[in-house]
Structure 1
Amino acid sequence: MEISKKAKLEKLGWKIGTTSEFLNLTPSEDQYIELKLALSKSVQKKRLEMKITQVKLADILKSSQSRIAKIESGDKSVSIDLIINSYFALGATIQDIAKILYELPKDQKDSKHKDKKNPSKLLPV
């Protein structure tokens, strides 16, 4: 966000913060979300690299295309187990999972879990 825009908004009573701050997430909740989103995006990236459709992946997993879409978006109804099983079905290895874990933010203040369109979330005071 541009500094001038941020200053104007703060002057009007808005507070700039992260999604974690807005939702009042604990550090463990924030880390869980980071992990789930990283795994979900890795499934999508691997599927696209392999040039297969969500329908084809659904066939492999004996699931539905809509379920694959939920897996790739990190939908709250999808378990981490299902995400990891989907990733392995695409040929990923434990080393691939380890790399994802290694690349996660090390603590909450380094978290990337912010508003997708705007890295600074506007919070009314």
Structure 2
Amino acid sequence: MDKKRQQQLEEKGFQVGSAADFLKLSPEEVAYIDIRLDISNMVKAQRAKKGWTQEQLARSIGSSQSRIAKLEGGDPGISMDLMIKALLQLGTSKKQIGQLLEGELETA
């Protein structure tokens, strides 16, 4: 948000901040959410790069297309083990996953 818009909102009595501020998230909670979203984005990018449909990925890991859609959408109900299993099935190396977690690898 640009400074002018922020100032206008604050003059009208609004508080401007981040979602983390609003939800009172700890730095660890913010990092966890970021990791989950990075993994979700990487699954989607790797699946598209490989030319697979959500259905093909789901079958290859013993899941369902709807779970893959939720995974790619960042649904918090999807387990980390399913997310990692999907990445590995798509040919992502452990090193690439580590680089993603370290923030050294772009997801798209």
TM value normalised by structure 1: 0.78
Report the equivalent of 1:77: 77
Report the equivalent of 1:19: 19
Report the equivalent of 1:6: 6
1:39, 1:58 → 2: CA distance?
A: 16
Pairing 1:42–2:48 present: no
Deviation per CA, 1:30-64: give whole Å up to 9, x if none.
Answer: 11111111111110110011111101111111211
Query: Which secondary structure state, in structure 2, belongs to the residue aligned with residue 14 of structure 1?
Result: coil
Greater than 2 Å deviation, 4+ residue runs: none
More strand by share: 1
Identity of matched residues, %: 38
Identify unmatched segments of 5+ residues in structure 1: 105-125
Q: How well do the aligned residues superpose, as a CA RMSD in angstroms?
A: 1.2
1:98, 1:27 → 2: CA distance?
A: 20
Report the equivalent of 1:93: 93
Query: Which secondary structure state, in structure 2, belongs to the residue aligned with residue 45 of structure 1?
Result: helix
More helix by share: 2
TM value normalised by structure 2: 0.90
Q: CA deviation at 1:2?
A: 2.6
Query: Which secondary structure state, in structure 1, belongs to the residue aligned with residue 15 of structure 2?
Result: strand
Q: CA deviation at 1:3?
A: 2.2
1:61, 1:98 → 2: CA distance?
A: 21
1:45, 1:19 → 2: CA distance?
A: 25
Q: CA deviation at 1:76?
A: 1.1
Higher relative contact order (CA 8 A, sep 6+): 1
Report the equivalent of 1:57: 57
